[in-house]
């Protein structure tokens, strides 16, 4: 972390002259998208970018690009590491009560391995990685902008306003909506590719581009945004809580538990624990919307029929008019528990996913000489 400390010291020295001018008037100066008053320079908020850009008041373009690259690679590596659990979760969501072969984490993984082999464990992961890189990039940029804008607006009425849970929650929710909307077609295509089962039914999609062409040709352009509404509603508490809980927990643990000056000094293990708690809380609240999204994405698609046991109604047989209709029919036909199918697999994957993402990201940013924190969800 010696290189990181040097970057922070360089940035602090560049900001010192600006802070000196602001101290007499009680003003504030920007730090990585957030505005800090001179009396609160040490309270650097979580998820704030620090750059050694020459003479700029915020991160330079090169620094931001490097940071986004690090976050994208870390996201891709972490998603690949937990790809089998991700696929199992989606299969459980789509199959619902139409089959029991995917019940349980270990039983479901064993079935995938037995019937489809190693390739089956990672099916759809390429599309997921293609999706997660722009998703993480856009989510981070939106969060940084919204965080700074909300805090700057608060400072107009309260010069001593700080970055708190509500600010993080609102900024995270807005960032999640923006990122989800910008990359949703990729998520739709990835979901279809992931649900295909080798040896059952016709293999309709050969690749991500082929899947997109087939969906547009057979179902229309609007099909690429099927399930968008529950996705956006679900991402509000998920991403919002991810940022809010993680940042707030790190502040509490660092200052109140360990007596440190700020969350920046918190060790990696404690940070990972905070991230695990944040991810678990967020996904539990938002999970029913994720199930609804998957059901809407495969509604009417024959490929989902391969998941059902003989004599049972497959997911594609049930047509949904929209989000509310989907929730009503799922609960009516399968019970409330169906809204949480795959949650156990998601719990198992969240801890290693966050751990790998943070470790990989930290190593890459040290090599690139940039310090930056982004959401891991």
DSSP-assigned states of every residue in 314-359? -GGGS--SSHHHHHHHHHHHH-GGGGGTTHHHHHHHHHHHHHHHHH
How would residue 198 be classed by pLDDT, with cut points 50, 70 and 90? Answer: low
Least confident of 187-201, 249-263, 266-280, 330-344: 187-201
| Annotated domain spans of the chain | 61-196+220-368
Sign of the Cα torsion 329, 335, 340, 344 reads negative
The string of pLDDT tens digits covering residues 28-49 is: 433 333 444 444 434 434 444 3
Q: Rounded distance, CA 101 to CA 112, Å?
A: 9
CA atoms within 13 A on the CB side of 102: 29
Q: Rounded distance, CA 187 to CA 281, Å?
A: 22
The string of pLDDT tens digits covering residues 155-179 is: 898 888 888 899 999 999 998 999 8
How would residue 297 be classed by pLDDT, with cut points 50, 70 and 90? Answer: confident
The CATH code of the domain at 61-196+220-368 is: 1.50.40.10
Give percent of the chain above pLDDT 90: 8
How would residue 319 be classed by pLDDT, with cut points 50, 70 and 90? Answer: confident
CA 372 to chain centre: 16
Exposed e or buried b per residue across 266-281, where buried means at least 16 C-beta atoms within 10 angstroms of its C-beta: beeebbbbbbbbbbbb
Which residue matches tokens 């992961």? Answer: 125
Q: Which pTM was predicted?
A: 0.68
User: Which stretches of the chain are DSSP H helices?
Assistant: 2-23, 61-81, 83-95, 105-121, 125-157, 165-195, 208-219, 228-252, 268-298, 323-334, 343-368
């Amino acid at each position: 972390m010696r290189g990181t400390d040097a970057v922070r010291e360089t940035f602090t020295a560049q900001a010192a002259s600006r802070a000196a001018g602001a101290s007499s008037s009680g003003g504030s100066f920007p730090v990585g998208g957030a505005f800090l008053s001179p009396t609160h320079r040490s309270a650097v908020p979580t998820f704030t970018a620090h750059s050694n850009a020459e003479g700029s008041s915020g991160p330079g373009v090169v620094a931001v690009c490097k940071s986004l690259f690090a976050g994208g690679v870390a996201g891709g590596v972490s998603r690949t590491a937990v790809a089998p659990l991700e696929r199992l979760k989606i299969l459980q969501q789509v199959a619902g009560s139409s089959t029991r072969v995917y019940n349980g984490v270990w039983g479901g993984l064993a079935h995938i391995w037995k019937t489809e082999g190693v390739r089956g464990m990672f099916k759809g992961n390429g599309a997921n990685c293609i999706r997660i890189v722009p998703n993480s990039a856009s989510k981070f940029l939106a969060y940084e902008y919204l965080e700074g804008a909300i805090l700057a607006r608060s400072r107009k009425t309260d010069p001593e306003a700080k970055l708190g849970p509500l600010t993080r929650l609102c900024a995270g929710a807005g960032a999640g909506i923006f990122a989800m909307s910008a990359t949703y077609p990729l998520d739709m295509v990835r979901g279809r590719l992931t649900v295909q089962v080798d040896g059952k039914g016709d293999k309709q999609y050969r690749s991500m581009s082929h899947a997109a062409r087939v969906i547009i040709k057979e179902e229309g352009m609007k099909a690429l945004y099927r399930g968008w509404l529950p996705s956006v509603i679900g991402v509000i508490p998920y991403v919002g809580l991810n940022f809010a809980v993680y940042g707030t927990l790190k502040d509490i643990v660092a200052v109140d538990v360990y007596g440190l000056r700020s969350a920046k000094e918190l060790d990696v293990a404690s940070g990972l624990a905070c991230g695990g708690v944040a991810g678990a809380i967020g996904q539990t609240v938002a999970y029913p919307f994720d199930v609804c999204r998957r059901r809407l994405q495969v509604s009417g698609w024959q490929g989902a029929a391969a998941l059902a046991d003989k004599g049972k109604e497959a997911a594609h047989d049930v047509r949904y008019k929209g989000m509310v209709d989907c929730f009503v029919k799922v609960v009516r036909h399968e019970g409330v528990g169906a809204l949480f199918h795959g949650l156990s697999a998601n719990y198992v994957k969240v801890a290693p996913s966050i751990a790998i993402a943070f470790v990989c990201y930290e190593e890459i940013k040290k090599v690139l000489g940039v310090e930056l924190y982004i959401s891991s969800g």
